[in-house]
């Protein structure tokens, strides 16, 4: 099952040797409540999925005007990124769990993550996800964000037929153990 979650390593190796030693600062901005255990698990999952890339984390409200970063991605989290919130029902039509911003066909270093949609998808699937499991929610958010970082860091809109870079991920894909 480990090859399923090594797609980002393959992406980094194949797209640019410069990315293999990159340092990327990720700025987090939440527009609703979030849990620190879930966000810590998200960070851990992303670092595992992106070996060779040094990830640094900052909160939007902690930035100073004098801060500068060689490589930066801004991630805005919508909805509640905690398990104690009421889980909304999934809309009948498929909807994105996250998306990278695009302008004039170019991928920008901005991503939006839809926490309510992630929680709804997890609750709808035949998995071992419990609405009180912060660790699994964080793992799922991490994998969704890893998918968006594939687009941003790889500067590609393309998806693959396998792994975390597929166009659609199931609840099982989002929370299964890596073995």
The domains located in the chain, with CATH, are 2-175 (3.40.390)
The string over 84-123, giving b where at least 16 C-beta atoms fall within 10 Å of a residue's C-beta and e elsewhere, is ebebeeeeeeeeebbebbeeeeebebbbbbbbbbbbbbbb
pLDDT digits (tens, 9 = 90+) for 19-48: 445 899 999 999 998 999 999 999 999 999
Is 69 exposed, middle or buried, given 0-12, 13-18 or 19+ CB atoms closer than 10 A? middle
Query: In which band, very low, low, confident or very high, does the pLDDT at 87 lie, cut at 50, 70 and 90?
Result: confident
The token duo for 10 is: 């393959």
Q: Among 4-13, 20-29, 62-71, 86-95, which range has the highest average pLDDT?
A: 62-71
Read off the pLDDT of each residue in 61-73 and give the average, rounded to a whole number: 93
Does 18 have pLDDT greater than 70? no
Q: Where does 16-109 have alpha helices with state H?
A: 36-49
- The whole-angstrom separation of Cα 77 and Cα 116 is 10
Which one has a higher pLDDT value, 115 or 177? Answer: 115
Is the pTM here over 0.85, yes or no?
Answer: no
| DSSP β-ladder status, 72-78 and 23-30 | parallel
Q: Which residues contact 21 (CB under 8 A, 6 or more apart)?
A: 52
pLDDT digits (tens, 9 = 90+) for 129-162: 665 688 999 999 999 999 999 999 999 998 887 7
Query: In which band, very low, low, confident or very high, does the pLDDT at 9 lie, cut at 50, 70 and 90?
Result: very low
Confidence (pLDDT) at 103: 96
């Amino acid at each position: 099952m480990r090859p399923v979650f090594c797609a980002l390593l393959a992406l980094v190796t194949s797209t640019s040797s410069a990315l293999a030693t990159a340092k990327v600062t990720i700025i987090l901005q939440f527009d609703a409540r979030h849990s620190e255990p879930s966000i810590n698990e998200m960070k851990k999952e992303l670092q595992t999925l992106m070996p060779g890339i040094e990830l640094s984390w900052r909160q939007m409200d902690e930035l100073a005007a004098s801060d500068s970063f060689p490589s930066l991605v801004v991630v805005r989290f919508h909805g509640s990124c905690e398990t104690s919130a009421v889980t909304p029902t999934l809309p009948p039509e498929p909807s994105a769990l996250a998306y990278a911003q695009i302008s004039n066909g170019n991928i920008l270093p901005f991503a939006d993550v839809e926490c309510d949609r992630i929680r709804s998808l997890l609750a709808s699937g035949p998995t071992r996800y419990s609405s009180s499991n912060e660790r699994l929610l964080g793992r799922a958010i991490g994998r969704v964000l890893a998918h968006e970082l594939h687009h941003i860091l790889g500067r590609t809109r393309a998806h693959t037929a396998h792994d975390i870079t597929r166009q659609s991920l199931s609840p099982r894909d989002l929370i299964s153990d890596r073995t």
